Amino acid sequence: MEILWWSTLFFFFIFKASTLKIITPGDFIKDGGETLESENGTFEMGFFSPGNSNNRYVGIWYKFSNTTVVWVANREAPVSDNNGVLSFDNNGILTLFNETNSVVWYTNPNTSRTPHEPVLQLFDSGNLVVKEKNEDVSKNFFWESFDFPSDNLLPGMKIGINLITGFEYYISSWKSSDDPSQGQYSLRIDPHGHPQVVLKKGSETVYRAGSWDGHYLSARKPDDNPIPLYSYNFVINENEIYFKSELKNSSFISRYTMDPSGLMQRFIWNQMKNEWQVFSTAQADGCSTYGLCGSYASCKSGRFPLYSCLEGFKPKSSMSTSDGCSRTTELGCSGDGFLKQRRLALPDTSKSWANGSMNLKECEEFCVKKCACTAYANLDVTKGSGCLVWLDELIDITEFSQDVQPLYIRLPISELDKIQRKMEKKKAVIIAISIIVPMGSMVTLFLLYKLKKNLSNKGKTKEKMEMQIFDFATIANATNNFSSNNKLGQGGFGNVYKGMLKEGKEIAVKRLSKDSGQGFDEFKNEVTLIVKLQHRNLVKLFGCCIKGDERMLIYEYLPNKSLDNFIFGS
């Protein structure tokens, strides 16, 4: 009997310590290693202690990264020891008890229907659901954790508002890495005006992702729109408003997380490196702070200063950039027009009005008739349809470097005329520059070519004009003192001698008659002229020798009497 009792106890311990795939009424999970696992093993639910805390919580985490907790059940009511028990009853209620058997946390069904065969199951999406045993249609679930997000927005999870019940689902930061209770920051839908996604610190908006423009959230950077890994859905109807994203490829693992400081980042799991990597950051630049530049001013990251008044507006104050801008000329209601801006993100839509059935022309006509209207745009850029009008000052405007959805800003006709003249003048300058710069470049290139050519010619001339002045002793020594044996011939202007310089170069020396009557300068000018005029195919003149009345020309020596022909003729 005792052996049977120990066997039963051992079997009970092994069974309870094993990982469960589904929980039915009467089952429970005790703190101490018992967990519920999703079908494919991606997610796991059980007890944990965050950071350096000793408090115990029921949470869901990635099984391959058990420090990455994505959902906490009792985030506002921790269990102080390891004696917590999570039970599941016949009514489909999930209840957490502490060591005194007091209720710490429990689920509240979202329907009055009574389940027949309720089960608790952790889906591969990370969604913990209470449902009928054979029911997988989400709208028929009795309860699901995706309706109560913590600090992670998982694919398939939505943020929004149930307009019938007023229930709101949003993600919120932890207070700290040791405390998962709700912190200061929350990402939610602002339903005022045209609904938009905003980050709040308490009740104050600190960041705006924007409203849905048919493509993505309109206040985001164009290069972030959209992330190709995801498909997006923004629903606005009489029952609810919500935004959610789905992974296009289920082989990817991704999460969107808000840390205790409110920083929002999208992480992708790198299976090769076995680590999480940051894929994108919401507050990635200096323009992410809501309303940083005030009304009617745009903020452009990388520009100094960051803010700039929109065209037709002037700074309210030179002392503070956050004061924004005011109109240069006030509106007159009638006789106003619109300036088309293509590089501005859509402003805050909390004080706007939208109509999905109107076209852009009808939208303009509506805005013209309504004096409070300050701007308008298409509601859906993918279809070029719908009407969105702003009924107050334009605020929180980011300026991009590339074109985005057009925004039409209301201005007096007088301001539009000024802007038009300014644009025409700017256009004329651009055209002039586009003509002058290429022509100037061509002229510059031509002048550089001519300069290079002239320098080259000067170099060649210098090379041609280089002439050596030999001393008399050198020439006398080279010709054996003008020996008759070295004499090659004679003519009317004097005798010609063959010579050999010390370096072995053979020369021919034409010794001019002393009665030629040429002075030093005349002779030198004549020799210079010969150097300038000599052709590359003619015998080369090396130089000359001048001493007293002596005048000699030094040529290169050509054998076979060719020099004779050159000097004396045929």
Decide: residue 64, CB within 10 A, 0-12 exposed, 13-18 middle, 19+ buried.
middle
Structural tokens at position 386: 């719908």
- Within 10 A of 246 (CB to CB), how many other CB atoms are there? 14
Concatenated DSSP letters of 191-258:
-SSS-EEEEEETTEEEEEEEEB-SSSBTTS-GGGSS-TTEEEEEEESSSEEEEEEEESSTT--EEEEE
Domains identified in the chain, total number: 1
SS3 484: helix
Residue 426 counted as an annotated binding residue? no
User: How remote is the C-alpha of 154 from its chain's centroid?
Assistant: 25
Between the CA of residue 17 and those of 20, 113, 522, what are the distances in Å?
9, 33, 122
pLDDT score at 551: 84
Q: Is 302 left (phi over 0), alpha (psi -120 to 50) or beta?
A: left
pTM of the model: 0.72
Contact 69, 58 (CB under 8 A): no
Q: Is the pLDDT of residue 535 over 70?
A: no
Q: Please give the Cα distance from 172 to 76 (Å, whole number).
A: 12
pLDDT score at 515: 65
What is the arithmetic mean of pLDDT over 171-192?
98
Report which of 336, 310, 314, 325 is spatially closest to residue 417, judged by C-alpha positions.
336
Residue 61 backbone dihedrals phi, psi, to 5 degrees: -140, 165
SS3 366: helix
Residue 499 lies in a domain: yes
Within 94-178, strands assigned E span 94-97, 103-106, 118-122, 128-132, 143-144, 152-153, 158-162, 168-169, 171-176
- Within 10 A of 372 (CB to CB), how many other CB atoms are there? 13
What is the arithmetic mean of pLDDT over 477-494?
84
- Per-residue pLDDT reduced to its tens digit, 125-164: 999 999 999 888 888 899 999 999 999 999 999 999 999 9
Residue 131 lies in a domain: no
Q: Please give the Cα distance from 209 to 196 (Å, whole number).
A: 7
Concatenated DSSP letters of 505-542:
-EEEEEEE-GGG---HHHHHHHHHHHHHH--TTSPPEE
Residue 16 lies in a domain: no
State what percent of residues in the chain have pLDDT above 70: 85
- Per-residue pLDDT reduced to its tens digit, 503-523: 888 999 888 877 666 556 667
Mean confidence (pLDDT) of the chain = 86
CA angle 446, 451, 457 (to 5 degrees): 125
- Per-residue pLDDT reduced to its tens digit, 431-477: 667 777 777 777 777 777 777 777 666 555 444 445 688 888 898 89
- Per-residue pLDDT reduced to its tens digit, 395-427: 999 999 889 999 999 999 999 988 777 766 666
Length of the chain in residues, anyone?
570
Checking DSSP bridges between strand 468-470 and strand 541-547, what pairing results, if any? parallel
Q: Is the pLDDT of residue 95 over 50?
A: yes
- DSSP summary character for residue 56: B
Decide: residue 415, CB within 10 A, 0-12 exposed, 13-18 middle, 19+ buried.
buried
SS3 305: coil
User: Would you place residue 536 in the very low, low, confident or very high pLDDT band (cuts 50, 70, 90)?
Assistant: low
Q: Is the pLDDT of residue 539 over 60?
A: yes
Tokens 């058997």 locate to 101
Residue 500's domain is classified under what CATH number?
A: 3.30.200.20
SS3 367: helix
SS3 388: strand
Q: Please give the Cα distance from 70 to 267 (Å, whole number).
A: 12
Concatenated DSSP letters of 421-479:
HHHHHHHHHHHHHHHHHHHHHHHHHHHHHHHHHHHHHHHHHHHHH--EEE-HHHHHHHT
Q: Is the pLDDT of residue 291 over 60?
A: yes
Residue 523 lies in a domain: yes
Domain of residue 549: give its range. Answer: 468-568
pLDDT score at 533: 58
Residue 485 lies in a domain: yes
pLDDT score at 320: 66
Residue 229 lies in a domain: no
Q: Please give the Cα distance from 174 to 179 (Å, whole number).
A: 6
- Per-residue pLDDT reduced to its tens digit, 268-279: 999 999 999 999
Structural tokens at position 372: 């409070």
Q: Please give the Cα distance from 326 to 399 (Å, whole number).
A: 18
Residue 2 lies in a domain: no
What amino acid occupies position 521? D
Residue 530 lies in a domain: yes
Cross-sheet strand order for the sheet of 240-247:
168-169, 158-162, 240-247, 230-236
Q: Is 527 left (phi over 0), alpha (psi -120 to 50) or beta?
A: alpha
